[in-house]
Structure 1
Amino acid sequence: MHMRQWLFAVSFLVSGACFAGTACPNFFVSGSNPSIDASLTPRTTEVCHTEYVLLASGVTKDPVYSAQHLTAAQVAGADSISRTGSFHQETGIPTADRSQDSDYTNSGYDRGHMTPAGDESTIDSEKESFSMANVVPQDHKLNTGEWAKIEAQVRNLATQLGEVYVVTGPAFDPDNIPTIGKDKVAVPEYTWKAVYEPGKGAAAYLCVNDDSITCDVVSLNDIKTLAGVDPFPALSSSMHSNPIGLPLP
């Protein structure tokens, strides 16, 4: 089935968007953090890190989203350091809302970064990306294959353009949400990565979270419908409905 067909098949009605303030507006287009469906708001906590921000959900034990203002300078810095981080609990959210590294052990899923470690320009910020609130249960073949290629492609765009804004997150099948571990971490049906190229427009990569390696480029409106998140609420309605041509790996 083509991506557009199954997107329509699994889409659900967004019951109403909610806006909240942010303590780290520098990561968002025009300082406006993503708007999210009212059903996603319970037990959410924003955590501002050095080079990214996440909105953690105590209900799913996943991020609602993870966001970056990714620059060419940051990518250059990232290329100059080695991967040294290790997964750790997110101390910036309540203990009851945290997932743990052990939840993923023998689960059959990878700890899939939403903001990639490979985007972080210093050792300290790279370590911050290994927060358990910045990962979701992700299919291993997807995580190490097409998703990793998409992450690299976004870094290439930041290098070419000088900057991009990125919001990444999970989307769930509301009728079937499996969980892993004693903390019942929700397993998403899809993962998505929305990209805004300043002065040009926006679109999102959307991947089925299984080993089929089914990924496509969709509009911001598609993400809003499927995930209940508007990644870039400051952008025009035209940019929301007309995706730019993000290159697929």
Structure 2
Amino acid sequence: MRNLQRHLAIACSMVSAAAYADNCLMECPAGVNNGKTITRSVYTLKNNATTKFADWVAYHVTTKTISGPTRKRNWKTDPSLADGNTLEPSDYKNAYATIHTDRGHQVPLASFSNTPDWAQLNFLSNITPQSSALNQGPWNKLENAVRQYVKSGHDVYVVSGPLYESYFASLPNTDKTHTIPSGYFKVIAEKSGSTVKASAFIMEQTAGRYDDYCDTEVTVNEAEQRSGIDFMPGLSVIDEPETEGTLGGLIAELGCS
């Protein structure tokens, strides 16, 4: 009976994953060789054991994943990672009081509130210490803009991750070696027929709460150069210059003029 229950649990998990596990557009990101890749029903990420944060997370937002009930932020250490390769909840103690950071989701909880695996968004592998002004300001507004576009009947693929271009701060209550990001990238893409449209944004940890996310758009190429990551390695050489080398791909769809 125990073996039967185990097999049923695995089968249910596979069905759940099959419903949502299409996390990457034009293949998952490439270019960061260290660390462990974890694929779950709601995202794929590449963990970095040195920084203690994911180098990138990839996820697919659809009308079926959003608009669920409000979900709790019950932080947990990622069970798929060794203790020394990620952080635990106590490592964030006093972070807000001393360095003014939130536990910022790289894959937003609200974008998967209608999925059965939403709690996996609270694993600390998907979290970074993100400036409160950034997290609650322009970063949050961009994530809301993505969901608003999806509500109109579209679905988009997103890759988010950290940049390490300058020193920002250190967590005050951990003895684990770590590196807090100085900023973040977010690349939003949509495929219609054979056409891929994409817009990239880079925001700094020093951003103001009322900054306009529209002003942070960069080309996908710039985001790739600064992060060292190829976001869509399966994109053809014919489509790459138009999709990744120009501004404005999805900017109007995301609420920017």
| TM-score of the pair, normalised by structure 1 | 0.80
Q: Aligned partner of 1:223: which letter?
A: A
Residue 34, structure 1, aligned to residue 22, structure 2: no
Asked whether 1:166 is paired with 2:158, we answer: yes
AA partner of residue 118 (structure 2): E
> Which 5+ residue runs of structure 1 have no aligned equivalent?
1-23
**Pairing partner for 2:201 from 191, 202, 205:** 205
1:240 and 2:233 are equivalent in the alignment: no
Shift of 1:148: 0.9
Aligned partner of 1:197: which letter? Answer: E
Kindly tell me the number of residue pairs found equivalent between the two proteins.
217
Q: What's 2:14 paired with?
A: none
Cα contact 1:34–1:233 (8 A) shared by 2: yes
Determine which of 58, 83, 93 is the counterpart of 2:81: 93
Q: Secondary structure at the match of 1:230?
A: coil
Structure 1 segment 7-46 matched on structure 2, within 5 A = 26-30=22-26, 32-36=27-31, 40-42=32-34, 44-46=35-37
Q: Residues 53-202 of structure 1 correspond to what in structure 2 (within 5 A)?
A: 53-75=44-66, 79-107=67-95, 108=99, 109-122=101-114, 124-173=116-165, 176=167, 178-180=169-171, 181-199=174-192, 200-202=196-198
User: Rg: which structure is higher?
Assistant: 2
CA–CA distance in 1 between the matches of 2:224 and 2:21? 20
Q: CA deviation at 1:25?
A: 7.3
Alpha-carbon distance, 1:135 to partner:
0.9
Looking at structure 1, the residues matched to 21 and 143 of structure 2 have their Cα atoms a distance apart, in angstroms, of: 23
Contact 1:114 1:136 in 2 (8 A): yes
Q: CA distance change for structure 1 residues 59 and 248 in 2, over 3 Å: closer, same or farther?
A: farther
The share of aligned pairs that are identical, in percent, is: 22
Q: What's the TM-score, normalizing by structure 2?
A: 0.77
The alpha carbon displacement at 1:140 in A equals 0.4
Q: Which 4+ runs in 1 deviate beyond 6 A?
A: none
